[in-house]
Amino acid sequence: MRVTILEHGAGNLHSLAKALAGPGREIVFARDPARALDTDVLVLPGVGAFGPAAARIAPAREALRAAIAGGLPTLGICLGMQLLFDSSEEGDGRGLGVFEGPVTMLRARRTPQVGWNTIDDASGETMSGSGLLAAYYANRYACRPADAESVVAWSTHEADRFPAMVRRGSCVGVQFHPEKSSRPGVRFLDRWLRSVAGANAGLPLPVTR
């Protein structure tokens, strides 16, 4: 399984690559968003700002959107999750529009939210296999999906309840950083990648929505 991390211009991605690694997985990096599509799994990492990241993916926006809509297993982390939406208050540019809705600043006195926060698993099964009941966040903005049915987990910062995880088909977005969320976060990544491998082999996904 080739797992491609799309470098959109910021962040040390070593910890993410290490967390994704496992038997039978080739972890590669791609700066060209079009070339990143030559993969079994696409990962949009979670460090940086929306505007520059949107500009980086703009030349291949439609190809990325079509590939994800066509079933390319994709994981968006923090900023990567926000890029799956239409737009963001943080900066100019268009997201991929896989999920309809904007990204807005957290409705809280203290921003950014940095540190651990609990996860309310709306599906009752998404996090159970990994034991991920709390995760590490570093975000000033949150996604506001038009379709609440796409949300499989929530978190709350002060009075603002926002999606911790969204899913549509084989595309998943998480606002938290699983690679920084200790062993449960790594198990979450491993479980998701195993579900992708199972789906490619014609087996049912163990994580459903």
Active-site annotation holder among 8, 157, 171, 177:
177
Q: Which one is catalytic: 90, 143, 171, 179?
A: 179
Q: Residue 136, SS3?
A: strand
DSSP string, 31-98: SSTTGGGSSSEEEE---S-HHHHHHHHGGGHHHHHHHHHTT--EEEETHHHHHTSSEETTBSS----S
Is residue 89 within 8 Å of residue 141, measured between CB atoms?
yes
78 given a catalytic annotation? yes
179 carries an active-site annotation: yes
End-to-end CA distance of the chain: 24
Query: Which one is catalytic: 78, 90, 143, 157?
Result: 78
89 assigned to active site: no
Please identify every residue annotated as catalytic: 78, 177, 179
